[in-house]
Amino acid sequence: MPDVMPCPAGQPLDQPVEQPKERAGRWALLRRLPLRQILCLLPLLVVGYWVVQHRSLIGSGARQMFTANPYWLLTAVATTGLGWVAVSFARQGTVLERLPARRLFATQFAAGAANHLLPSGIGASAVNIRFMTGCGLPPARSSAALALYFLAEATTRVGLLVVLLLVFPQALRLGPLLPESVSGMVVAGAVVAAVVLVAGVTLIRPVRRIVVKFLRTAMADARSLHMRPSRALALWGGSLAFPLLQAAGLVAVALALELEVRPAHVMLAYLAATAVAAVVPSPGGIGSVDAALVIALVAAGAPVEAATSTVLAYRFITVWLPLIPGALVLGGLVRSKIV
């Protein structure tokens, strides 16, 4: 009687059975694929797709710069570069270990491009976690360092906003732009979201266990860091300098385009707009930040057309101009196994 190979469960009778040699050949083919080279090119391809999709917006921002004061535009470019330096100091301040300075700066520059892949800063967070774990930090401590950075950055940003609101209480006139019904809906939505988040953490035991363990690690690291003056200064100094430099960049662009709004009011408009836009998850803040900035500048007294031109030029300098170089750096970091 001839040998008959049994048919595996679920395998149709009219289909040939996959031989072990064929399966091994497929795995060998997959292993020969240049996976890391593909991952290196992926950020550049995605960024290129974003550029094509938003080419009209990029063109509008570039055209606004031809009529602007070049010296103020160079100031905006300089403040953007210094912003990456400030973030690097803040990131170093979240860990006790000394991170390689050049790689840390390159990672922050590349994180800007990664932010366009995923919403709400997830891309930058993933890049930084990969970088810190590659430097030898355990995943739990890398996550705690990331949370500490977000806490410090949000605290300093909101603190600056509150101070400017107290000093210039009449700088933003939102009444004609946001009716009371819309404001009430925004506040109600924020309250409901906070209640749902707290209830989920409190009632779901696995989530509560993870959150408690994470908070213990974060608090222990925070206490250790604040016993080192150099780390505390880097954390809070970098976190304070970053939004100030971003706001200064918008002020420089406003001066370059001769926007008739006081610089302090422009800074207040920037801080208020970015605080509101952070609630809307969009890759790179595209759409949410742009709209919030235009509304805030109009509320500060700028005409709609001038406010739109200022925001387009500012976003061209801070987002679109470093996008492709950032994608190239990100691909290089992936190829070098730094992230």
Predicted confidence at residue 39, as pLDDT, reads: 53
Contact predicate 110/123, CB 8 Å? no
Distances (CA, A) of 248 to 165, 253, 268, 292, 314: 17, 9, 11, 17, 11
pLDDT digits (tens, 9 = 90+) for 182-199: 445 555 655 665 666 667
pLDDT digits (tens, 9 = 90+) for 25-81: 554 544 554 555 555 555 555 555 655 655 665 566 566 667 778 899 999 999 999
Distances (CA, A) of 324 to 48, 130, 192, 335: 8, 21, 39, 17
**pTM above the 0.95 mark?**
no
Question: Which residues, including other chains, have CB under 8 Å from residue 99's CB and lie 6 or more apart?
Answer: 91, 92, 132, 135
Predicted confidence at residue 302, as pLDDT, reads: 84
Percentage of residues in the chain with pLDDT exceeding 90? 24
Predicted confidence at residue 309, as pLDDT, reads: 84
Predicted confidence at residue 1, as pLDDT, reads: 47
Alpha helices in the chain (DSSP H): 20-32, 35-53, 55-66, 70-92, 101-114, 122-134, 139-167, 180-203, 205-226, 229-256, 263-277, 288-299, 304-315, 323-335
Ranges of residues in the chain with a pLDDT under 70 are 1-65, 116-121, 174-198, 200-201, 207, 211, 214, 217-218, 279-288
